[in-house]
Amino acid sequence: MAADSEPESEVFEITDFTTASEWERFISKVEEVLNDWKLIGNSLGRPLEKGVFTSGTWEEKSDEISFADFKFSVTHHYLVQETTDKEGKDEILEDAIPQSMQDLLCMNNDFPPRAHCLVRWYGLREFVVIAPAAHSDAVLSESKCNLLLSSVSIALGNTGCQVPLFVQIHHKWRRMYVGECQGPGVRTDFEMVHLRKVPNQYTHLSGLLDIFKSKIGCPLTPLPPVSIAIRFTYVLQDWQQYFWPQQPPDIDALVGGEVGGLEFGKLPFGACEDPISELHLATTWPHLTEGIIVDNDVYSDLDPIQAPHWSVRVRKADNPQCLLGDFVTEFFKICRRKESTDEILGRSTFEEEGREIADITHALSKLTEPTPVPIHKLSVSNMVHTAKKKIRKHRGIEESPLNNDVLNTILLFLFPDAASEKPLDGTTSVDNSNPPSESEDYNLYNQFKSAPSDSLTYKLALCLCMINFYHGGLKGVAHLWQEFVLEMRFRWENNFLIPGLTSGPPDLRCCLLHQKLQMLNCCIERKKARDEGKNVTNTYPGDAGKAADQLGPDHRKDTDKEKGEVGKSWDSWSDSDEEFFECLSDTEELKGNGQESGKKGGPKEMANLKPEGRLHQHGKLTLLHNGEPLYIPVTQEPAPMTEDLLEEQSEVLAKLGTSAEGAHLRARMQSACLLSDMESFKAANPGCILEDFVRWYSPRDYIEEEVIDEKGDVILKGELSARMKIPSNMWVEAWETAKPIPARRQRRLFDDTREAEKVLHYLAFQKPADLARHLLPCVIHAAVLKVKEEETLENISSVKKIIKQIISHSSKVLHFPNPEDKKLEEIIHQITNVEAIIARARSLKAKFGTEKCEQEEEKEDLERFVSCLLEQPEVLVTGAGRGHAGRIIHKLFVNAQRLTESSDEAAAMAPPEEELKRAGCPEERRHNSVSDFPAPAGRELILRTTVPRPAPYSKALPQRMYSVLTKEDFRLAGAFSSDTSFF
């Protein structure tokens, strides 16, 4: 019994063969994708227009499916077209062959210059590709290929899809596809052959026709005519040197001290090598039949000169070396360096004996002693200039990064006023080569946050850029910057204004370094005006205010006005003998204030004070209490601020918090200028009250109304606004605190000495990387201006659009502090690309001799042809080999052939006029065709016919075979249709 029970136990292990296999699941997934994309049924589109494969829009959709654990990607490629109205045509089109079969015979889009390989081989407007999802995966075995092809065939039959379905087999680099297309009673098989070595019998038309005829196996005699389209591609690689106009910069001239201001003020431009590496000439015979042309291993009628269609494309050099791009890129690399100026130039140059260090310490300690020490006796400037001497002593001429000739040339370019014995008083240097200040190009610095193109900062950026590229790299940059900082200190100490900077407060639209230099210039202006005013005071004892008071009332007004206008520029504000007015001792200040406060007991007592610091009378306004005319006082200008100081101030104010005490302190800090103006107003208008000040300073806060007095007359009655009446108002507090002190005797709102030292300290401690960050917007600004200047000479529409994009992109990136390196690299890359495009345009113009054309019409045609070569993937040559452009291309090939075949360079460089004269003689041209053109780099043929397959009574269907033959590649791509109903 035990033995009998064992077989019974195995009965339950039954395999269920009704379960779907992996293969069936795969087919089901393919069908599901086709249904989701609605590729079911026949959808006839419009006939394809000429060139639509290149000019039209191609789109694709992708999905992923798997066969067991092997993943495939399914991609639908299709040309976007307007859908046609098919209502009422369903019955007529029911037996029509699929659209893709009709496309096999279409001749409007043979050899498209830019399209998917299957589009070029088969002329399809829509198809689906199934390929291994991973790039490294491949379907190699024949059984797997057949399994996939069977899956495709079943899926197409089940769904009724009429879109061709391809499967990619073998390695992806081989671009091997097999596929199928099914329609009502018809089927097209897409087959392919790919070989490395070409069989000799298939290198010409006759051998390929034999393959095509044997493959279709048409039983009819005679065979229907075969339509032939042929394209031969010739490659021109050997350009003569004289065809490339760009000359590299003369570095010897730059180093030899022959560099002038123009060279240092302008960036270089152009490619150092020919940006056009190859010219591809495609000669096409689009409509031939078998009996018209002969092409076999012995003889060929395919003469490129006689080809009816010529088209040209150019191959661009990969990343050609461009001067402007290299300049900007090398300068940008400095931003990533970490070294300081001292580390680059060597600390040893500053190290001296301890005696000198002790002297400096002793000199600084004198500041704490009671004896006043004039500032010029301190060794601040001497220390720097001594360091400069030490640098030159320790670092010989050979060791110096910049030789004296180059350095002097740069410094004269930056500071043109140094050429004369006395520096110029003007603050701007005018350069006629710069765009007008109203132009869009000039105001580009607003968008880039750089600096005006005629400013010192802008010129400094260009000089550092050139120094970095030609004269010593990073060390040269550090050396020039050190000299620049020394020059800044020299100008500050000797009251020489900095040229190339607009007067006035720092322009916050510019880069921070430019603002710092403007701030230093403001300090020099104030110091210079103060020193000149002190000299006037020493010459004429007594201050100008007292002198004015001694004059009559008529003369006083003019004198005060004149004095006040000068006072606006900080002239004669100090009546102290001290060099630094801000170092005025507290006892003197208390003494002065005590005298004023002693006289101050109210409006009546204040009215007895002598007016001081008047600028001019204010129209018809009079003081409310005593009816005296109201005078506008000479006031202090508000302190100029750079953006980092404004940010620092806002942070301090924000840290005070929102408490009442913090708010009060914040208001006090912000009212320093208001207090100064109130004191000036009180000094100019003795006996004035707050209402008088508000009427001048803030007229909207003084409200006047018409009222009727006791006598019935209409009079104006005024009062302060509501906000001025708020308890503990800051204006009221400031007014009560203010003393009648004229602006020239007030403590300065703007401490120019301290601010100048802060700026000089900031400049001295800038690392080359920080400096490059500050100046990079100026360099990009200069590069964009250079590109725009060069583009106007070439007038390339596509470049204009790219330049606008660069400006828009740069303005967004550079307007924010510390932009990302990646975004900066993108901007530089865009500029380099534009430079390469312009260089290509010039290269092509030189090769085609557009400037040598005597006839205006021919010149315009050539320029249009060159412009199309830059913007289009392939350009048709008007007139083929007989047109003007065609003759030039022929000449280029002849020159190249002569250069390769002949060792005589003189003969190679001579113009081949004889060959051009023989252009009208076919026999001589055919005789010399071998020497005129090299062997074709590529031969493409398309064979088409319509024959019944597989039986004579089958439906006549399209047959097509594409062949391409190159030096190391041979491919046949066939689409053979057959009738599945009548076979």
pLDDT at residue 77 above 90? yes
Confidence label for 867 from pLDDT (cuts 50, 70 and 90): confident
pLDDT, the chain, mean = 76
Percent of the chain whose predicted confidence (pLDDT) is above 70: 73
Q: Rounded to an integer, what is the distance from CA 302 to the centroid of its chain?
A: 48
Q: Which two tokens stand for residue 877?
A: 């040559």
Question: Which one has a higher pLDDT value, 435 or 420?
Answer: 420
Confidence label for 818 from pLDDT (cuts 50, 70 and 90): confident
pLDDT at residue 486 above 80? yes
Confidence label for 40 from pLDDT (cuts 50, 70 and 90): confident
Q: Which amino acid is at 346?
A: G
Averaged pLDDT for residues 788-806: 87
The residue to which tokens 């110091």 are assigned: 527
pLDDT at 446: 83
pLDDT at 850: 79
* Distances from the Cα of 431 to the Cα of 443, 590, 776, 942, angstroms: 16, 52, 22, 64
Which DSSP string do the residues of 365-397 spell out, in sequence order?
HGGGSSS---GGGSSHHHHHHHHHHHHHHHS-T
Confidence label for 81 from pLDDT (cuts 50, 70 and 90): confident
Q: Which residue, among 614, 745, 610, has the nearest Cα to 681 in the 3D structure?
A: 614
pLDDT at residue 584 above 60? no
Q: Write the pLDDT tens digit of every residue in 125-145.
A: 999 999 999 888 888 888 999
Whether the Cβ atoms of residue 125 and residue 80 lie closer than 8 Å to each other: no
Q: How far apart are CA 76 and CA 129, in angstroms?
A: 7
pLDDT at 903: 44
pLDDT at 88: 42
pLDDT at residue 738 above 70? yes
Averaged pLDDT for residues 623-639: 83
Q: Write the pLDDT tens digit of every residue in 184-212.
A: 889 999 999 999 888 888 888 999 999 99
Type and span of the H or E element at 957: strand 956-966
The residue to which tokens 């940059």 are assigned: 477
Question: Which one has a higher pLDDT value, 231 or 902?
Answer: 231
Q: How far apart are CA 370 and CA 893, in angstroms?
A: 91
Q: Which two tokens stand for residue 481?
A: 């910057």
Q: Which residue, among 304, 303, 286, has the nearest Cα to 229 in the 3D structure?
A: 286
Determine how many CB atoms are found less than 10 A away from the CB of residue 836: 21
Whether the Cβ atoms of residue 977 and residue 164 lie closer than 8 Å to each other: no
SS (H, E, C) 642-689: CHHHHHHHHHHHHHCCCCHHHHHHHHHHHCHHHHHHHHHHHHHCCCCC
Q: Rounded to an integer, what is the distance from CA 484 to the centroid of its chain?
A: 29
Question: Which one has a higher pLDDT value, 376 or 534?
Answer: 534
pLDDT at residue 215 above 80? yes
- Residue 161 is classified by DSSP as B
**What backbone torsions phi and psi does residue 907 show, to the nearest 5 degrees?**
-65, -35
Q: How far apart are CA 834 and CA 843, in angstroms?
A: 14
Q: Which residue, among 371, 206, 214, 222, has the nearest Cα to 290 in the 3D structure?
A: 206
pLDDT at residue 461 above 80? yes
Question: Which one has a higher pLDDT value, 660 or 498?
Answer: 498
Q: Which residue, among 910, 867, 906, has the nearest Cα to 885 in the 3D structure?
A: 867
Question: Which one has a higher pLDDT value, 512 or 578?
Answer: 512
Averaged pLDDT for residues 809-826: 87
| Winning range, highest mean pLDDT, from 170-174, 287-291, 638-642, 813-817 | 170-174
Confidence label for 590 from pLDDT (cuts 50, 70 and 90): very low
Question: Which one has a higher pLDDT value, 680 or 602?
Answer: 680
Q: Which amino acid is at 863?
A: E
* Distances from the Cα of 212 to the Cα of 209, 222, 482, 814, angstroms: 5, 15, 79, 63
If you count DSSP H runs as helices and E runs as strands, how many of each does the chain have, helices first? Answer: 36, 17
| Winning range, highest mean pLDDT, from 14-23, 213-222, 806-815 | 806-815
Using alpha carbons only, how large is the chain's radius of gyration in Å? 44
| C-alpha count within 13 angstroms, C-beta hemisphere, residue 326 | 16
Averaged pLDDT for residues 850-877: 84
Q: Which two tokens stand for residue 309?
A: 């269609």
pLDDT at 272: 84
Averaged pLDDT for residues 625-638: 83
Lowest-confidence segment of 462-476, 569-583, 791-805 by average pLDDT: 569-583
Question: Which one has a higher pLDDT value, 65 or 982?
Answer: 65
Confidence label for 276 from pLDDT (cuts 50, 70 and 90): confident
Bridge-based pairing state of the strands 969-979 and 956-966: antiparallel
